[in-house]
Amino acid sequence: MQLTLWTYEGPPHVGAMRIASSMRGVHYVLHAPQGDTYADLLFTMIERQDKRPPVTYTTFQARDLGGDTAALVTATVADAYERFRPQAMLVGESCTAELIQDQPGTLALGMKLPVPVVPLELPAYSKKENWGASETLYQLVRTLLAEQIPAPGVVRPARPAGRKSRANLLGATVLGFRCRDDVTEIRRLLDQLGIDVHVVAPLGASPDDLRRLPEADFNIDLYPEVSRATAVWLQRSFGMPYSTTVPMGLGGTRDFIAEVARLAEVDPAPVLAREKPGLAALGGSQARMQWYARSVDSTYLTGKRVFIFGDATHAVAAARIASEEMGFTVVGLGTYGREFARPLREAAKQYGVEPLITDDYLEVEQAISAATPELVLGTQMERHIAKRLGIACAVISAPIHVQDVPARYSPVYGFEGANVLFDSWVHPLVMGLEEHLLHMFRGDFEFHDEARASHLPEVALHAPAAIDGGAAPDQARVAAPAAPAPGRPGVSASAGVLAPGTPAWSADGELELKKIPFFVRAKARRNTERYAHERGLTTITVETLYDAKAHFGR
């Protein structure tokens, strides 16, 4: 048994629903009790889909359990087929139905429907949503392509001369992070390279589209959490190579271009040549981010401490961007997806941080609190953590909420994606010039200590107190529950909590600390206390404050 307050991923059948809802002509019959239909609202409310998910639930009840729940399955499958006439059906079960072992998939196969039926076995007590999505796509593709698999030893015919190279884009789904716009952006990029997009799947694909997958020359594995298993199988069964570079950030996009150009046998040089520093000002580059990061107003971004958590694909790519393209310092890197923990571990090693592989929300909160970052790049879960701690935050990965499905075009992949990321990571931070102004005018009444940056929400007011608490996360955690403070999360949670043995501030030291602008005061307080603590000092004076300042720099 595992105590969970919040969960990053839903159960695996929700992953299967993501595949079904992303596609056309697929219907999913789910053997499940009343209540499991809650998952529909993820699609209609968060993703704002204008149709119900193509899912029919059997809605069995306690009184059915002694009777014939199997008959309920076959009746539901028959009804759903009659009503929706899909080109292919997925049949599976949710957690409770798994326990009663009706094997709905097998039952549905036995019905000899005139369309392919894919039985789904998604173990609800050991697997989660992304795995469920991956497995569903894989099983569906396998079933639909079963008859086309060439015999062993048959060599894949070469691309006819004169035909452009074709790629499939795999892995985009609804409820993924910005998939809709990423697909458009990558299409645009491939178009510039002279590569045709053959099939995009599962997003917008029909079963017939999946049958055409092998007609492409190679696959682009855009979201490995969802499509790696399928890409690997297509390579094994059809000899189709697949790309592994995630086209996120400038470096990621350049590497991606190089990789797909090699797979497609085209020349990447014309596209890459345009993306050189300095060209942005002349309008030659699509990646303004490159120039913006070099522009002097970005100087203040140097060394900003950033904590990154999400699915492994987005987290690893974000770490590279943060470090190489924004000049941040990565102080934490983690993922909730154990299936892709390995690449994340390697990346963490590169940035000299301990990889955080967990789906325990409280553990993530504790790690963030302890790392005292200035910016959190995470999921909607981290957005809540950051809000409570008063730290700036941008969302970079699923799980998403309604604001992560913007109306405007906002990919995170490709060159435009890099631009979008620059904007969305910089905006939550105090702007560089504003930092100077605040410092200069802090004696003025508009800029008194409690005045906050005009563009930040109310919660920023409490940031210093919250970050103070971060110095002693264990104590903060014990103290927190006593004060749930509805509506004002995090305010009372950590104020005034000091670890035992923390040196006390003298009156003059405290007064001097107040002269430091509030947005760096928490850091100054933390550093000074650490400095004093390490030296066994019991009182912090003005001198201790400046000694610490000299010791830590900036």
Partner 1 sequence: MSAIALGQAPAKRASAIDIPILRERGQREVFCGLTGIVWLHRRMQDAFFLVVGSRTCAHLIQSAAGVMIFAEPRFGTAILTDRDLAGMADANSELDRICVSLLERRPDISTLFLVGSCPSEVIKLDLAKAAERLNSRLFPRIRVLNYSGSGIETTFTQGEDNALKCMVPAMPVTSEKQLLVIGCVADVVEDQFQRCFAQLGLGPVRFFPARRAADLPAVGPHTLLLPAQPFNGETVRALTARGARVLSAPYPFGAAGTTAWLAAAAAAWDISEERFAAVTGPLAARAEKALARYRAQLSGRRLFMMPDSQLEIPLARFLHRELGMQLVEVGTPYLDRLMVSAELPLLPAGTALSEGQHLDRQLDRVRSARPDLTVCGLGLANPLEAEGLATKWSIELVFTPIHGFDQAGDLAEIFARPLQRRERLLA
Cα R_g (the chain), whole angstroms: 27
- Is residue 403 part of the contact set for partner 1 (CB under 8 A)? no
d(CA 99, CA 467): 46
- Is residue 473 part of the contact set for partner 1 (CB under 8 A)? no
Of 10 and 171, nearer to partner 1 (C-beta) is 10
Task: Report CA-CA distances (Å) from 437 to 384, 441, 443, 464, 487.
Answer: 29, 6, 11, 19, 31
Among 24, 70, 96, 109, binds partner 1 (CB under 8 A): 96
- Is residue 441 part of the contact set for partner 1 (CB under 8 A)? no
d(CA 481, CA 489): 11
* Binders of partner 1 in range 180-239 (CB under 8 A): none
Q: Do residues 367 and 349 touch, judged by C-beta distance below 8 A?
A: no
- Is residue 339 part of the contact set for partner 1 (CB under 8 A)? no
**Three-state secondary-structure class, residue 452:** coil
Beta bridge partners of 510: none
Stretch that binds partner 1, among 8-16, 163-171, 252-260, 330-338 (CB under 8 A): 8-16
- Is residue 65 part of the contact set for partner 1 (CB under 8 A)? yes
Beta bridge partners of 306: 330, 375
- Is residue 169 part of the contact set for partner 1 (CB under 8 A)? no
- Is residue 171 part of the contact set for partner 1 (CB under 8 A)? no
Catalytic-labelled residue, pool 297, 444, 474, 508:
297
- Is residue 478 part of the contact set for partner 1 (CB under 8 A)? yes
Give catalytic status of residue 217 as yes or no: no
Stretch that binds partner 1, among 28-36, 213-221, 245-253, 434-442 (CB under 8 A): 28-36
- Is residue 407 part of the contact set for partner 1 (CB under 8 A)? no
- Is residue 440 part of the contact set for partner 1 (CB under 8 A)? no
Least gap, CB of 173 to partner 1 (angstroms) = 17
> Measured in Å, how far apart are the chain's first and last C-alpha atoms?
47
Least gap, CB of 145 to partner 1 (angstroms) = 31
Amino acid identity of 365? E
Q: What is the enclosing helix (H) or strand (E) of 378?
A: strand 375-378
Name residue, tokens 């969302």: 395
Assess whether the previous peptide bond of 202 is cis (omega < 30° from 0): yes
- Is residue 499 part of the contact set for partner 1 (CB under 8 A)? no
Of 131 and 519, nearer to partner 1 (C-beta) is 131
Stretch that binds partner 1, among 29-37, 206-214, 216-224, 272-280 (CB under 8 A): 29-37
Q: Do residues 130 and 337 touch, judged by C-beta distance below 8 A?
A: yes
Among 16, 31, 33, 309, binds partner 1 (CB under 8 A): 33
Among 151, 158, 296, 482, binds partner 1 (CB under 8 A): 482
**Structure-block tokens of residue 86:** 């899909």
Among 17, 385, 395, 400, binds partner 1 (CB under 8 A): 385
Among 70, 78, 95, 149, binds partner 1 (CB under 8 A): 95
d(CA 443, CA 441): 5
Q: Do residues 466 and 476 touch, judged by C-beta distance below 8 A?
A: no
Task: Report CA-CA distances (Å) from 379 to 249, 314, 390, 397, 493.
Answer: 18, 10, 16, 5, 22
Least gap, CB of 108 to partner 1 (angstroms) = 16
Q: What is the enclosing helix (H) or strand (E) of 331?
A: strand 329-335
Least gap, CB of 1 to partner 1 (angstroms) = 4
- Is residue 66 part of the contact set for partner 1 (CB under 8 A)? no
Least gap, CB of 471 to partner 1 (angstroms) = 17
Least gap, CB of 222 to partner 1 (angstroms) = 25
Enumerate the H helices of 110-178 as residue ranges: 129-145
Q: Do residues 42 and 14 touch, judged by C-beta distance below 8 A?
A: yes
Name residue, tokens 């345009």: 274
Stretch that binds partner 1, among 5-13, 428-436, 458-466, 545-553 (CB under 8 A): 5-13
Q: What b/e readout covers 499-538, taking b as 16+ CB neighbours within 10 angstroms?
A: eeebbebbeebeebbeebbbbbbbbbbbbbbbbbbeeebe
Beta strands in 228-286 (DSSP E): 242-243
Q: Dihedrals φ, ψ of 102, to 5°? A: -80, -15
- Is residue 305 part of the contact set for partner 1 (CB under 8 A)? no
Least gap, CB of 412 to partner 1 (angstroms) = 23
List residues near partner 1 by CB under 8 A. 1-7, 9-11, 13-14, 33-45, 48-53, 56-62, 65, 76, 79, 83, 94-96, 99-100, 123-126, 128, 362, 365, 380-381, 384-385, 388, 477-478, 480-482, 484, 486-487, 489-490, 493
Q: Which residues are catalytic?
A: 297
